[in-house]
Structure 1
Amino acid sequence: MSTAFDPNQYAAQLEAKRQRLIELLQPFAAPEPEVFDSPPEHFRLRAEFRLWYENGTPHYAMFERGDKRQPILLTQLPIASQRINQLMGPLLEACKADPVLGRKLFQVEFLTTLSGEALVTLCYHRPLDENWDAPARELAARLDIQLIGRSRGRKRVLDKDYITECLQVDGRDWHYQQIEGGFTQPNGAVNQKMLGWALDAAGHDQRDLLELYCGNGNFTLPLSTRFRRVLATELAKRSVYAALDNLAHNGVDNVTLVRLASEEVTQALTGVREFRRLQGIDLDGFDFSTVFVDPPRAGLDPATLELVKGYDRILYISCNPETLAANLTELNTTHRLVRCALFDQFPYTHHMESGVLLERR
């Protein structure tokens, strides 16, 4: 659900989210939340547009949720990054002017970085072949972008299918591959603040960290500096490969990454089941003091809840404060909530990203 875009109302909308988080966490004697705001404009680093044709002329279009018949036609998108807005007009004009680029084009996806790198994916309702490459390469060079073509079952990559983001956290630069089609945090400025908060909440520990749902290593990289060793887990193959590349690119050598679902991690750590993917990894050699979780909107499942209750500290990043509150009802029996934060990843919506630190009672 979204609210009207009005930078003049941003502070009031953020305050409403703060009050909502306070209300949800009140049963757990939560301290005052730390609030991390967003730039009021040009904060979103990725955007996806359908193309809507009127008299054969394409326009960028978005739709209200659940309504695909009444388009909202756009020439600019003020919540999107400056780089996306700079590219929207020239890219569409080039596709209108060249039938190879424009024929049966139905969707355009933009992915950008804080430093201005851009990757654009053009999606077609027709097969793509090598005839697409020459005009696409000329357009990519003219606009200084990475350009990818997609059609059913086909993907044409001219150079590479990723761009590199640089995030500054606690005085250090971290470099991340942002892969086309993979998950990335959409609000880079708030992501930096979120990483900084997580690093501060983690403190410095001579023991080890267990991380579930590590994705492409967004949190893993900076958190690796605060623990002796890290065991990070992720199920999605593409995210695992991206995380491995990011660890290598940043020279991080104290992280062991395994491809397991959270319930499989629980089975492995409790000795219920052995996994071939853990061969050669000495789980008993880890000395975990802290568990870090960044689960999907459904929150932690019952088995994972039982697992995390076994650690001295729980660092929990949530994309759904309602399921966070439900999980805290259980975690509150063994841990106390000592820090909480609100990260405004999605201004002008009711969506809230939050974080809590819990310590054993």
Structure 2
Amino acid sequence: MTSSYQQQLDAKVERISAQFAEFNPPSLEAFNSPEQNFRMRAEFRIWHTEDDMFYAMFERDADDQKKVIEIKDFPIADQSINALMPVLLDELKAQKILSNRLFEVHFLATLKGEMLVSLVYRCPLNAEWETAAKALSNKLNIKIYGRSRGQRVILTDDYVVEELSVFGRSYQYKQIESSFTQPNAKVCQKMLEWACNAAQHSNKDLLELYCGNGNFTLPLSTRFNRVLATELAKSSVYAAKWNIEKNAIDNIQVARLSAEEFTQAYNGEREFRRLEEAGIDMSSYDFDTVFVDPPRAGIDDETLKLLQRFERIIYISCNPDTLHDNLKTLLQSHKIVQFAMFDQFPYTHHVESGVLLEKI
């Protein structure tokens, strides 16, 4: 590693270790990122001048005014994105129907080589645009997806299929353009392996809350008898079910419930037709572990009480502050036995953290 990357990684380790020191956790295990070409997503504004246009981002100057920065390459993005950027821009410039009122360009790449480009416009998209976009899609061998206000034009697909390797086994994931996916695929693979190691092997069942597209669900299913995963977003539930079928995994059920709704159902406070329609008999499960990867806001109080009833909790967090706050409750019943940090976002203050908690 270069000294500059090592220094920023060391600073994160020091910051997170200090923040959680009051809980006396084990030594923090840090998982580094590639120093460049680690992001599988990139989004740019398109800045139009009188006779040209270019990829743009913005920064604040000394007077707190927005300054336009032309982006010719983007070293933190995957190599395939960097290779495509100038080629795509030249093609867009060459056709007025594709460049007119183009507002943003979004790239979504995969480790296996697929590419989805979303072109976002400030004008309606017509048949002429669709014909030109299809021709460009074929010429560059990429997927193109058009968007404008109230309009979505899907030429082939609005997703890519990523392939991640966990302990030598490959998993395929449908990643939908508008849905969340981990942007740093190589660090994501490290997170999946850490979670599987934390889970060890159990002859009981796993409950997963906030499962998204099944990112962790698929490899974790190899460590348990059965898995019940919950997620509220319809697009993510759809992707998770597609991923389960695509990977021929037969011990996972997915319930479209929020964490709060699952807590109510588990406590017998409410009945949900969605469970019945999905053929899920909650009483048939014998859980010993719960896995959570909540949004930045963390976990609500009632769900925290639910987690305290499980023997083991595996908690992945994208926000150290809410993890720290949630641990004040969880450590009343559990202790930290593993503590990890994943550098998903090099050169920013953001980190992903992981803790394995076991009942006292």
| Superposed displacement of residue 8, structure 1 | 4.2
| Structure-2 separation of matches of 1:175 and 1:256 | 18
Greater mean alpha carbon deviation, residues 154-163 or residues 57-66: 57-66
Question: Residue in 2 aligned with 1:117?
Answer: 114
Query: Does the residue aligned with 1:71 lie in a helix, a strand or coil?
Result: strand
Identify which of 120, 138, 143 aligns with 2:135: 138
Aligned twin of 1:307: 306
1:27 corresponds to: 22
Question: Which residue among 128, 144, 147 is the counterpart of 1:147?
Answer: 144
- Are the aligned partners of 1:313 and 1:357 in contact in 2 as well (CA < 8 Å)? yes
Would you say 1:94 and 2:91 are equivalent positions? Answer: yes
Counterpart for residue 351 of structure 1: 350
Q: Which amino acid aligns with 1:44?
A: R
- What is residue 200 of structure 1 aligned with on the other side? 197
Matched, 1:327 2:332: no
Q: How does 1:170-185 map to 2 (within 5 A)?
A: 170-185=167-182
Q: Is the Cα contact below 8 Å between 2:60 and 2:66 reproduced in 1? A: no
Q: Answer whether contact 1:83 1:116 (CA < 8 A) is retained.
A: yes
Q: Could you report, residue by residue, the CA deviation over 1:42-77 in whole angstroms, capped at 9, with x for unpaired residues?
A: 100001100112224111111238978421111100
Instruction: Please give the alpha-carbon distance, in whole angstroms, between the structure 2 residues aligned to 1:34 and 1:142.
Output: 45
Counterpart-to-counterpart distance in 1, 2:54 and 2:121: 15
Of 173-182 and 126-135, more deviation after overlay is shown by 126-135
Query: In 2, Cα distance between the equivalents of 1:317 and 1:216?
Result: 15
Q: Is the CA contact (8 Å cut-off) linking 1:216 and 1:239 kept in structure 2?
A: yes
For residue 130 of structure 1, report the CA deviation from its aligned partner.
1.7
Q: Which runs of 5+ in 2 are unaligned?
A: none
Q: Distance in 1 between matches of 2:20 and 2:185?
A: 26
1:24, distance to aligned residue in structure 2 (A):
1.9
User: CA, structure 1 residues 68+78, in 2 after alignment: closer, same or farther (shift >3 Å)?
Assistant: farther
CA RMSD of aligned residues (A): 1.4
Q: Judge which range, 137-146 or 306-315, deviates more.
A: 137-146
Rounded Cα–Cα distance in structure 2 between residues aligned with 1:98 and 1:258? 46
Which residue type is aligned with residue 306 of structure 1? K
Name the CA distance, whole Å, in 1 between partners of 2:39 and 2:207. 30
8 Å CA contact 1:7, 1:41 repeated in 2? no
> Aligned equivalents of 1:307 and 1:62: distance in 2?
43
Structure-1 residue corresponding to 2:7: 12
Question: Is 2:40 the counterpart of 1:45?
Answer: yes
Q: Are residues 1:74 and 2:65 paired?
A: no
Give the corresponding residue for 1:289.
288
Q: CA deviation at 1:161?
A: 1.3
Q: TM-score, normalised by structure 1?
A: 0.96
Is 1:54 aligned to residue 49 of structure 2? yes
Give the drift of 1:106. Answer: 0.8
Task: Tell me the residue number matched to 2:82.
Answer: 85
Cα distance in 2 for residues equivalent to 1:50 and 1:78: 17
Paired residues of 1:205 and 1:227 also in contact (CA < 8 A)? yes
Q: CA separation in 2, counterparts of 1:64 and 1:353?
A: 25
Greater relative contact order (CA < 8 Å, ≥ 6 in sequence): 1
Q: TM-score, normalised on structure 2?
A: 0.96
Q: Secondary structure at the match of 1:63?
A: strand
Q: Secondary structure at the match of 1:252?
A: coil
Q: What does the per-residue CA deviation read over 1:199-219, in whole Å, with 9 as the maximum and x for residues that have no partner?
A: 011000000000000000000
Does the CA-based 8 Å contact 1:110-1:121 persist in structure 2? yes
Identity %: 55
2:58 pairs with 1:63: yes
Offset at residue 94 of structure 1 (A): 0.8
Structure 1 pair 233–84 and aligned structure 2 pair: CA distance change class (3 A)? same
For residues 132-160 of structure 1, the C-alpha deviation after alignment (integer angstroms, 9 at most, x for no partner) is 12221221122111011111111111111
